[in-house]
Amino acid sequence: MPLDLTMSVMNVRSVGARSAARLAKLGITTVRQLLWHLPTRYEDYSAAVPIAELVPGEKQSIRGEVIAISSRFIWPKRMTITTATLRDQSGAVRAVWFNQPYVGESIPEGTLLSLSGKVVLDKRGLSISNPLYERVTDAEHTAAEGLRHTGRLIPIYAETAGVTSKYLRFLIQPIIEQLDLPDPLPESVRRQYGLQSLSDALVAVHYPHRPEDAVRARERLAFDDLLLLQLKALRDRRQMNLLKSVRVPMDTEYMRTLVQGLPFPLTRDQRVAALEILKDMERPYPMNRLLEGDVGSGKTVVAVLAALHAARQGHQTVILAPTEVLAAQHERTLRTLVGPTMGVRTALLTGATTLVDGREATKPAVKRAVSSGGVQIVVGTHAVIRDDVRFSRLALVVIDEQHRFGIHQRAALMKSDRHASGVVPHLLSMTATPIPRTLALTVLGDLDSSLIKEKPSGRQPVRTKVVSSAERPRVYAFIRDEVRAGRQVFVVCPVIEAVQPDAERIASSPRPPRQGKLSALWAQVKAVQDEYQKLSKEVFPDLRVVMLHGRMKAKEKQAIMHEFKEGWHDILVSTSVIEVGVDVPNATIMLIEGADRFGLAQLHQFRGRVGRGAHASYCFLLPTDDGAARARLAALEKTDDGFALAEADMKLRGPGEFFGIKQSGMPDVTMEALGNAVLIKKARTAARAILRTDPQLKRNPLLAAQLAALQNLVHSE
Ligand code: ADP
Ligand code: MG
């Protein structure tokens, strides 16, 4: 009978309630989870050597007969020592176990053992210390089959208290040995991509003959998950294409007027992107487009053009930004671009600020203006979602810095019942974190993308330098010169790690997670205040220094950003709130304290705050320690290419960390595979092929069931 993977581990022979509880700590509650608890590495005990050829210091395996075995208890050390002598045709050697009294009891003299461990040389000669062992039936037995712990590549697993690798091998190996699983992958797909069967892959991943076998097996297992993700993306897309959206016919004449009214000529990439968006919006089903462009490439204006174009025909747009500072900035940009004459009305809605046409209004007034259709373009933070703002003719949702929004927030906005008209808006996501397309398709679903490669003309690359603490005075002198020349400066303070409240406090505190978050926030505020004190009182008493941090009221923050943009301050000391989007073209220096605490992609975002005008710009990176961090940060000195940096960052931190999907419940193999473009591509092609011949997955019931489970997982998140 095929093995039922959904069965509890309690059904595995010799697993009782206590072991089950321990296994649960490793996330193992079902047989499937047990089998998918893949080795983190392998010990190579594959070469069994004749005893005469043992080499001190190596980890080696032997096979031999136990000719003597005894245990003694050493009082002063409170320790049992078991010593056995093993013999093969080439010679004899001692095996020594510490504090494992049961070894002596379970191995009678005359037993044939396979034994693996570290070879030690001391005054008494050679011995093998604390070896793994198991009985073999025949000393000449050389085939690796049937051996669990010794004489081959031995799987080492993630462990926890009471669950050792040895115990896991003891549980997994018997199941693996007679594995007969139905395979969700159609035979044709397996053949086409040279993938082994599910059962073979599981056997090979736990007990590979050669390291390559494990690699191949992991790919097969990852392929299954990638295929599901692709099937889901394609099906979601199909679903989406069945939905109705607002058709916004292209008005070329009006677009021309808009573009001519801009203070600058659009770049070619901007024009192409805008065109692609407007074309999508002509269709009767919703657009799902990702606009990618490095920091400073000018994505905002493209989105604004689409919004204005829709507004002209009476449709509404909501533009969402991840921070209040950025939302306020967008709203301001929008109003300058719109001008008073165009007849388009705007609103800003964040947690703290509510404006209509740039004038303060109460929140209910804003919501009324939006639901009546009086306001065409709403800029806001997730407050727009939280406050359940109703639209009258919502045609377009723009999500800026989309990676800062959760899947649920995106989903909440797209839910059609939010909109009185019962149709789904077009969706434009924007990001400066370039994602390889194949990966975007997997993580974000099936979407179209537009890319702005070219930067607006006249931009100079930001000169970047990693600076040691000894060079600090020179950097300060340089800052003073730049300010004298009329430029402005950002100073970013390092992130402060949350002080982890100890376990006891977690248990007794009513709201434990917030504690850590709050204390981290306060630490951050303090860091900014200290830096502000230092810079304003000691280093630059003659300059206008101002600070910005998370404990300030939103209004205060917006006022400061506005003043800074207007040139009222020379130096802005801030937390990482200015990481995304902030646009102050007169700022030419970005100084980052504790630069080693940030990821490369994030640092690139900070750097993108300068170099937005015609002036030469500079980025100084000050690591907390002058040593190790330098090498990593040097990547930023070398390249200005956000794409290359994102890729380097992804390699360093792994795709899971990088995309913030670490907690998504995706298995580690899949997470690894997200970095494997070739495999993702194969999975995509396979998913297409399967759906072409079997759109409802009627002939692939296993896949259908797994897909349903995945849908549920996403919905219940
Ligand atoms: P990002 O893509 O990082 O969001 P922004 O949209 O904030 O970039 O634009 C960066 C700056 O470049 C803004 O000051 C914007 O007004 C300006 N800008 C955008 N497009 C052009 C252009 N074609 N020529 C000159 N400046 C431009
Ligand atoms: Mg932006």
List pLDDT tens digits, range 16-55.
889 999 999 888 999 998 999 999 888 776 667 889 989 9
Distance of CA 624 to the CA centre of its chain: 25
User: What confidence score (pLDDT) does residue 623 get?
Assistant: 87
Whether 634 is covered by a domain: the verdict is: yes
Distance 270 CA to ligand 1 centre (A): 10
Give the mean model confidence (pLDDT) for residues 428-452: 74
Which ligand sits closest to the CA of 299? 1
User: What confidence score (pLDDT) does residue 715 get?
Assistant: 47
How far, in Å, CA of 479 to CA of 591, rounded? 9
The answer, yes or no, to whether any atom of ligand 1 lies below 6 A from the CB of 568, is no
How far, in Å, CA of 100 to CA of 595, rounded? 49
Higher pLDDT, 709 or 44: 709
Calculate what percentage of the chain has a pLDDT beyond 70: 84
**Protein residue whose Cα sits closest to atom 18 of ligand 1:** 298
Distance 85 CA to ligand 1 centre (A): 78
Q: What is the pTM of this model?
A: 0.69
Whether 555 is covered by a domain: the verdict is: yes
Q: Are residues 623 and 489 in the same domain?
A: yes
How far, in Å, CA of 586 to CA of 305, rounded? 24
Q: Are residues 488 and 568 in the same domain?
A: yes
The answer, yes or no, to whether any atom of ligand 1 lies below 6 A from the CB of 302, is no
Q: Are residues 164 and 269 in the same domain?
A: no
Q: Are residues 275 and 405 in the same domain?
A: yes
* Eight-state DSSP code of residue 12: S
The CATH number of whichever domain residue 319 belongs to comes to: 3.40.50.300
User: What confidence score (pLDDT) does residue 444 get?
Assistant: 65
Domain boundary among 135, 153, 171: 153
Sign of CA dihedral 8, 12, 17, 19: negative
- The answer to whether 299 and 266 are in contact (CB under 8 A) is no
**Protein residue whose Cα sits closest to atom 23 of ligand 1:** 266
φ/ψ of 8, rounded to 5, equals -65, 150
User: What confidence score (pLDDT) does residue 368 get?
Assistant: 93
Distance 298 CA to ligand 1 centre (A): 3
User: What confidence score (pLDDT) does residue 497 get?
Assistant: 54
Distance 451 CA to ligand 2 centre (A): 14
Distance 430 CA to ligand 2 centre (A): 8
Higher pLDDT, 621 or 613: 621
Distances (CA, A) of 376 to 291, 351, 365, 366: 22, 20, 14, 12
Distance 304 CA to ligand 2 centre (A): 12
Of 57-66, 129-138, 390-399, 429-438, the one with minimum mean pLDDT is: 429-438
Distance 104 CA to ligand 1 centre (A): 76
Q: Are residues 482 and 627 in the same domain?
A: yes
Q: Are residues 149 and 161 in the same domain?
A: no
Whether 406 is covered by a domain: the verdict is: yes
Quote the number of domains for the chain.
4
Residue 579: helix, strand or coil by DSSP? coil
Whether 246 is covered by a domain: the verdict is: no
Distance 449 CA to ligand 2 centre (A): 16
Distance of CA 64 to the CA centre of its chain: 50
Q: Are residues 30 and 93 in the same domain?
A: no
Which atom of ligand 1 is the closest one to the Cα of 612?
Answer: 11
Name the CA radius of gyration of the chain, rounded.
32
* Eight-state DSSP code of residue 511: S
The answer, yes or no, to whether any atom of ligand 1 lies below 6 A from the CB of 455, is no
Neighbours of ion ligand 2 (CB under 5 A): 581
- The answer to whether 496 and 520 are in contact (CB under 8 A) is yes
Whether 10 is covered by a domain: the verdict is: yes
Residue 471: helix, strand or coil by DSSP? helix
User: What confidence score (pLDDT) does residue 498 get?
Assistant: 46
**Protein residue whose Cα sits closest to atom 17 of ligand 1:** 298
Burial 57-66 (b: 16+ CB within 10 A, else e): eeebbbbbeb
Scanning 266-323, the segments in alpha helix (DSSP H) are 268-281, 299-312
Whether 100 is covered by a domain: the verdict is: yes
The answer, yes or no, to whether any atom of ligand 1 lies below 6 A from the CB of 456, is yes
Using a 10 angstrom Cβ sphere, with 0-12 exposed, 13-18 middle and 19 or more buried, the burial of residue 474 is exposed
Of 259, 459, 488, 583, the residue with max ligand 1 atoms within 8 A of its CB, to mutate for a pocket test, comes to: 583
The answer, yes or no, to whether any atom of ligand 1 lies below 6 A from the CB of 297, is yes
Torsion of CA 196, 200, 201, 204, to 10 degrees: -120
Distance 688 CA to ligand 2 centre (A): 34
The answer, yes or no, to whether any atom of ligand 1 lies below 6 A from the CB of 494, is no
Pair of tokens at residue 398: 């723009």
- The answer to whether 574 and 491 are in contact (CB under 8 A) is yes
Q: Are residues 147 and 64 in the same domain?
A: yes
Q: Are residues 545 and 411 in the same domain?
A: no
Domain that holds residue 411: 252-282+297-431
Burial 666-685 (b: 16+ CB within 10 A, else e): bbbbbbbbbbbeebbebbbe
How far, in Å, CA of 309 to CA of 251, rounded? 8
Which atom of ligand 1 is the closest one to the Cα of 452?
Answer: 2
Helix (H) or strand (E) holding 261: none
Whether 21 is covered by a domain: the verdict is: yes
User: What confidence score (pLDDT) does residue 504 get?
Assistant: 33
User: What confidence score (pLDDT) does residue 147 get?
Assistant: 54
* pLDDT tens digit sequence for 155-173: 889 888 889 888 999 899 8
Q: Are residues 484 and 618 in the same domain?
A: yes
Residue 114: helix, strand or coil by DSSP? strand
User: What confidence score (pLDDT) does residue 341 get?
Assistant: 57
The answer, yes or no, to whether any atom of ligand 1 lies below 6 A from the CB of 299, is yes
Q: Are residues 574 and 599 in the same domain?
A: yes
Q: Are residues 396 and 486 in the same domain?
A: no
Whether 646 is covered by a domain: the verdict is: no
Measured distance between the N- and C-terminal CA atoms of the chain, rounded to whole angstroms: 34
Strand partners, 488: 587
